[in-house]
Every structure is written in structure tokens, then in C-alpha cells.
Amino acid sequence: MNFVRELVKYNSKMNIGIIGLGTVSRGFLEILQEKTNWVSQKFETDIKVVAIKDIMKGNMYNPKGIDINILLQKLDKGENINDDSLKDEHPLSKIEDIDLIIEASYSDYKTGDPAYTFIKDALSNGKHVVTTNKGPVALHYTELNKLAIKNNVSLRYEGTVLSGTPTFSLIEECLAGDDITEIRGILNGTSNYILSKMAGGESFENALGVAQQKGYAEADPTNDVKGYDARGKVAILSHKVFGVDLGLNSISTKGIDAISKKELDAAKKEGKNIRLIGSLKKTGNTIEAKVQPEALGQDDALSNIDGVTNAIEISTVYLGKIMITGPGAGKLETGYSVFSDVLSVIKNF
Amino acid sequence: MNFVRELVKYNSKMNIGIIGLGTVSRGFLEILQEKTNWVSQKFETDIKVVAIKDIMKGNMYNPKGIDINILLQKLDKGENINDDSLKDEHPLSKIEDIDLIIEASYSDYKTGDPAYTFIKDALSNGKHVVTTNKGPVALHYTELNKLAIKNNVSLRYEGTVLSGTPTFSLIEECLAGDDITEIRGILNGTSNYILSKMAGGESFENALGVAQQKGYAEADPTNDVKGYDARGKVAILSHKVFGVDLGLNSISTKGIDAISKKELDAAKKEGKNIRLIGSLKKTGNTIEAKVQPEALGQDDALSNIDGVTNAIEISTVYLGKIMITGPGAGKLETGYSVFSDVLSVIKNF
């Protein structure tokens, strides 16, 4: 008698937990909904979202995978997602069958919490982490990176700079064989939008008002207009590219709220554009980092970046100057940064 | 009696053969000289150049690895490198201990030879191939790609478009999870340099003369000014990004030699810049591809790309528009494309 045995190939699994159901997670879920089958085929990995926690919208846990379609419909209707499957006091980091946690709650630039604590707990419990929260990465990268290495998991944060526009993946994957000597960037879309409007004759106050109406600027625009958001991103770039923890306070920071009408007029007269530039320059073992408005001539590629667009110019030893330009915010744009990070984890582990 | 056994970790090997010792290979060798130890540590792989063939400069074969330092010194002095270790009639593709062949000879857009034959022989004999020759990739991608898959080796050609500026690695590594709908690019630095000069008032003939003096344009500038070089790159992008073999003849192509003084003046009056744009647009299953001079307003990011700089704007479903800008030629710039491709082969095999 002959037994015919079929060789069945099983995919790997990637069970995801999500902390925070805001715009970013929504964008990620919409992309994942479209791309689940593609990931299964291309990477031989089955992605499932098994748990979600949101302080406002509720909690869910389903080890077989949450139906994203139904979830998105509930969110569209503004419904609470709670189904008593996961208690508030039960942290995602303690759920054994979660492989990766998407941390998309909120944070500040003072302590980085609550995001910082969520990330720390996740890494300590052997979960990969993808985050879009700048605070914890800017403030605690050294500690979190060590924790990730110690637990043999990945900590990724593509969305913290230029949303989904490839920045860290570009540096890691495409520029690995080159040496970066300098980075200059338009890292804050809100302030660039305001500057573009001001160049067209608007006052700072009016331009800010329009930015707030359009949803580019928050009700409290301090982080954007004072340069603190750009500074946080400069700190993250310094960690990642140069391996140096500068500390936020040692990054000299001027915002766009300090620009006078006189400076604007003078720049215009010379055919220049004022841009808020975050920059890092390596000389020997020293990193010079700062954030400030700069009047840039037309021959400076960053001068021509208008509106909410972000851009980073990277100087390297072999390539000279290259520049990547793209969105700095947005639901699908930042959602893609998370999706892209999840793919990187799948590829590398 | 106790025997203490030490666990010795051996690096993998990557033995390289080089066909063609022009500027590109020189650039690669200079980079490799600086980076051999780094590769050994980071990728646990020992790179050696074991064989070289150049129709003018001679042949070399040393299974223990050619001393790059001495080789570069010889080339600097314009000396022939022949040492009777490798006969003219002995092809690199038949040397068993070569893992990867860098094909940097020359080719045209008619047959793609001799580069095409070198690549085909290398792949058929189970060697990975890195090439910077556009002809064979533009004309024979479908066949060469099949051959690579069949022989379980890699065929890489980062340097064929935008030299070492990350293009294919960006698309492969960073945009894998997104879907590209349109590509527009300034793909030919020579014609962009001429256009930049013409916008400043120079005649086409004078601008071309300066480009030739500076070494940007060749003695026979046909491929650059007639748009054929850009067309070849559009064909390569179509193969890679959309998996479609358009055939060079079906890509509508106009060069910059056809631009009239009247068109230039009209563009200037409207505050526009004329740029030679290679473009691909996917609608359903159709790819519309063309090369032509276009008058672009200041709100078009490609309008502001000046001189020999190249740029590609990529439209995707999730990110919208992103753009990468960088060098399109140069010794270290293109040498880096080869180095970067070699690293990709090491990472993936």
C-alpha cells in the first residue's frame, strides 16, 4: 500500500498588538486590509492583529485574529470597540502570542510617556516594537535600543521622521555602504507651510490660523513653531545615524515665531526663501546639531520645498549630496511607515 | 584528559571577477579598498577580487585575491596590468571560484553587446552579476532575469539609472509595501546641464560645447541630446517597476536638440523651466511611457533640478509623491552603485 504524503508548507506567523487607535493605526489597518494576502504570499507570513488597546475606544483580544473590516466599520461609526475580551488592567506586553506591538498612543518631549513605558514593557517581554511616537525615541533611544538588543527583538520608528517617506530604511538599506557626514532637513511640515504662506505675504498669525483650520497645526502650536518638533527629530537622527545621544537641551533651537517682517523682506529681496532647517554635521567625533530658520538661495535644494512637504538632504563620502522629499504627515502616509516597519521586522527575523 | 575545542567562526567568501577596468570599476575598487574590513565584520563575508579582464589594460587572475593597492597604483601610472596569469581566451564566467562578476565593459542600445554576452555567460554559469551597462538591461531584461532566476543567482543594475543614487534599492527595499502608479524623472544629466545653461542664455551649441569640455557629454552626444539615453532608462524602469517589456521603439522619444529659441523664451516668460522628462504612467494594465522636453512650473518639483543632478519622482498609492535627487554619474558615485549591489547580493544569498 502506498501512502501519498503531501508536502504542506506552513507560513510563519506575525501576531500584532496595537496600542492606540488614532489616525496612524487607522491608516495602518486600512493598508493591512489590502495587503494581508500579498504579505502571506511574498513573505510566507500570516499577519494577524490579535489585540488592540485604546484608552478611549476600548479593548479587544482575539487570538484567531480581529476582523479588520468590521473593526474599521465600527470606528467609522464612532462606536466603542469593547467586547469584554480584554481587561483594562491586562497589558498587551503580557499576552504571550503577540509577536509585535505597534505603539501609537501619545507622548511628550519631557518624559516620553505613556509611550515610553509601553515600549519598554513590550521590549522587555520580547516583543518587537514599531512606534511613531517621537518623544520616547528622542529621549530614551540609547536605553530602548539596548533593551531591544538584549531581548533579540527589533525596535523600529520610521514614522517618527518624514512619516512614511523612506528615511531610516533609506539610510539602513540603501546607504549602508556609504558614510554620512551631514544631514539637513525640512522636518516640520506645519512650520514649512506657515513659512510658504508668509512668503506670499501672509502674517505669521494669519498663516498659523490657516494651518490650524486645515488641520496641519494643533490648537497649541508650540512644538511646531518653536522648533521643538524638529529638534526631537534631529535628536532621533543623531541617535540613528551617528550613534550619539545629544540630549535635547544641547541642540540649539530657534523657531519660526522669531522671524521678523524685516528678515522676510530681506530674504525676498535677495530671491531667497526662509526655511526651518534641522541640521547635523559630523566633524571628527563631534556632532554639531541645530534647528533654526535659514534664508536659502535658489541653488539650495531645500529652498524650493514648499508647503507641508518634508525633505532631507544627506551628504555622504561617495555619493555627495542626495535628497529625499515626501510627505511628513497623513493617515495613509504614516500608516505606511508602520506597515513598512512591520515588513522589515518580518524580513529580518 | 580534556581537550578544549575552540569554536572558530569562519566568514563566508565573495570572490569577484571584473570585466572592464574603466572609471566605474576604478571607483568600485577605491571604495572596496576602504571598506573590505567593514564588510568582513558587518556581513561576515570576505570580499576578494580574484580576476580582472580589460581589453586594453590587460588581464589578471589570483585565486588568493588581487592586491587592490598595487593594482590602483599601476592604473594611476597608465601601466598594463597583464601578468600572464589569465589568457585572453579564458572567460571569467568559466573560472570556478568566482561568485560574482562585475560587468562594466561597454554596450550600445542596438544589441547590448559585448556587455549582453558577458552577462548571459556569467548568469548561465551560476555567477551573480552586477552591471552598470544600460544596453543589455534595457534590451534583454526579460531574458536575463529569467536566466538569473533559473540559475538561482542575482542580477543587479543599480548604476544604470541615477548612478549610485538609490533607485532600485529604494523601490525594492523601501517601497515594497506600496504600489507605484507613476514615475517621472530627470534621467540624463548631460541634457539637464545643457538645458540649465540654455535657460541662462547660452545657445544649444555653446552649452553642448561646455558640457563636452567638462566631460559631461561625449564626443558623439547623440544618445544624450536625442533622448536615447533617457529612453533606455525608462525601459529599464518599466521592466523593474511594472514588469513590462515596452521595447525601445514603442517609447515615444523627443530630445533636447529639437527645442526652439521660441519655446525657451516662452517658458522663461511664464516662469517655467524646460526639462527633459522620462515618464511612465500605469493606467489599468497599460503603461504609457515617453521621453520629451516639458515646460514645468515652479510648483513642479522636477522644475528646480539644475545642472547634472538627476531626480526621480515616484507616485504611489499610500505615500503620494516622493522624490529622490542625486548624482547621475561620476567615478565614486557609480562605483558606489556597484558596491551597494554587491552588498545586496551578500545580504540576500
Is residue A289 very low, low, confident or very high in pLDDT (cuts 50, 70, 90)? Answer: very high
Q: What percent of chain A has pLDDT over 90?
A: 89
Is residue A3 very low, low, confident or very high in pLDDT (cuts 50, 70, 90)? Answer: low
Phi, psi angles (nearest 5°) of residue B266 = -65, -45
pLDDT tens figures, A40-53: 999 999 999 999 99
Number of Cβ within a 10 Å radius of residue B87? 9
**Residue B234, pLDDT score:** 98
Could you give the CA distance from residue A157 to residue A338 in angstroms, rounded to a whole number? 8
Contact A320/B306, CB-based, under 8 Å? no
Ranges in chain B annotated CATH 3.40.50.720: 12-164+331-348
| Pairing assessment for the beta strands B12-19 and B45-54 based on DSSP bridges | parallel
Residues A236-257, mean pLDDT to the nearest whole number:
96
- Among A48, A197, A233, A240, the active-site one is A233
Number of Cβ within a 10 Å radius of residue B343? 23
**From A328, which residue of chain B is nearest by alpha-carbon distance?**
B319
- Cell triple for residue B274? 524646460
Beta bridge mates, A282: A287
**From A338, which residue of chain B is nearest by alpha-carbon distance?**
B177
The helix/strand/coil state of B106 is coil
Average pLDDT value for chain A: 95
Residues A318-325, mean pLDDT to the nearest whole number:
98
Dihedral sign for Cα B270, B272, B277, B282, please.
Answer: negative
Ranges in chain A annotated CATH 3.40.50.720: 12-165+331-348
**From B338, which residue of chain A is nearest by alpha-carbon distance?**
A177
Residues of A near B (Cβ–Cβ under 8 Å) read: 31, 35, 164-166, 169-170, 173-178, 298-299, 301, 304, 306, 317-327, 330, 332-333, 335-336, 339-340, 343
The helix (H) or strand (E) run that includes residue B221 is: none
Give the best residue of B306, B319, B321, B340 to mutate against chain A (max A CB count within 10 A).
B319
Closest listed residue to residue B45, CA positions, set B262, B289, B349, B346: B346
CATH of B169-326, picked from 3.30.360.10, 3.40.50.300, 3.30.70.380, 1.20.1250.20, is 3.30.360.10
Residues A24-33, mean pLDDT to the nearest whole number:
97
Shortest distance between the Cα of A184 and any Cα of chain B, in A, equals: 14
Q: What is the 3-state secondary structure (H, E, C) of chain A?
A: CCCCCCCCCCCEEEEEEEECCCHHHHHHHHHHHHHHHHHHHHHCEEEEEEEEEECCCEEEECCCCCCHHHHHHHHHCCCCCCCCCCCCCCCHHHCCCCCEEEECCCCCCCCCCCHHHHHHHHHHCCCEEEECCHHHHHHHHHHHHHHHHHCCCCEECHHHCCCCCCCHHHHHHHCCCCCEEEEEEECCHHHHHHHHHHHCCCCHHHHHHHHHHCCCCCCCCHHHHCCHHHHHHHHHHHHHHHCCCCCHHHCEECCHHHCCHHHHHHHHHCCCEEEEEEEEEEECCEEEEEEEEEEECCCCHHHHCCCCCEEEEEEECCCEEEEEEECCCCHHHHHHHHHHHHHHHHHHC
Residues A232-261, mean pLDDT to the nearest whole number:
95
User: Does residue A161 carry a pLDDT above 90?
Assistant: yes
**Residue A215, pLDDT score:** 87
CATH 1.10.10.10 fits B12-164+331-348, yes or no: no
Q: How many residues make up chain B in this entry?
A: 349
- B277 CB-contact burial (10 Å; exposed 0-12 / middle 13-18 / buried 19+): buried
The helix/strand/coil state of B261 is helix
Residues of B near A (Cβ–Cβ under 8 Å) read: 31, 35, 164-166, 169-170, 173-178, 298-299, 301, 304, 306, 317-327, 330, 332-333, 335-336, 339-340, 343
What CATH fold (topology level) applies to the domain A176-326? Dihydrodipicolinate Reductase; domain 2 (3.30.360)
Is residue A9 very low, low, confident or very high in pLDDT (cuts 50, 70, 90)? Answer: low
Ranges in chain A annotated CATH 3.30.360.10: 176-326
CATH of A12-165+331-348, picked from 2.60.40.10, 3.20.20.120, 3.40.50.720, 3.10.20.90, is 3.40.50.720
Closest listed residue to residue A72, CA positions, set A14, A147, A37, A21: A21
**Residue A208, pLDDT score:** 94
**Residue A1, pLDDT score:** 43
- Cell triple for residue B109? 542600445
Residues of A in contact with B339 (CB under 8 A): 177, 318
Ranges in chain B annotated CATH 3.30.360.10: 169-326
The question of whether A233 is a catalytic residue gets the answer yes
DSSP H helices, chain B, are 23-43, 68-76, 115-124, 134-150, 168-169, 189-199, 204-213, 222-225, 228-237, 261-269, 331-348
Could you give the CA distance from residue B168 to residue B181 in angstroms, rounded to a whole number? 15
Residues A91-115, mean pLDDT to the nearest whole number:
95
Is B218 annotated among the ligand-binding residues?
yes
Q: What percent of chain A has pLDDT over 70?
A: 97
In the predicted model, residues of chain B with pLDDT beneath 70 are 1-9
**From A302, which residue of chain B is nearest by alpha-carbon distance?**
B304
- B302 CB-contact burial (10 Å; exposed 0-12 / middle 13-18 / buried 19+): buried
| CA–centroid distance for A293 within its chain | 23
DSSP summary character for residue B118: H
ipTM: 0.95
**Residue B5, pLDDT score:** 53
User: Does residue A78 carry a pLDDT above 80?
Assistant: yes
- Cell triple for residue A29? 489597518
Instruction: Establish whether the linkage from the previous residue to B114 is cis, with ω within 30° of 0.
Output: yes
Collect all residues with Cβ–Cβ distance below 8 Å to B69 and sequence separation of at least 6.
B33
Could you give the CA distance from residue A264 to residue A189 in angstroms, rounded to a whole number? 19
Closest listed residue to residue B176, CA positions, set A347, A312, A14: A347
Residues A247-275, mean pLDDT to the nearest whole number:
93
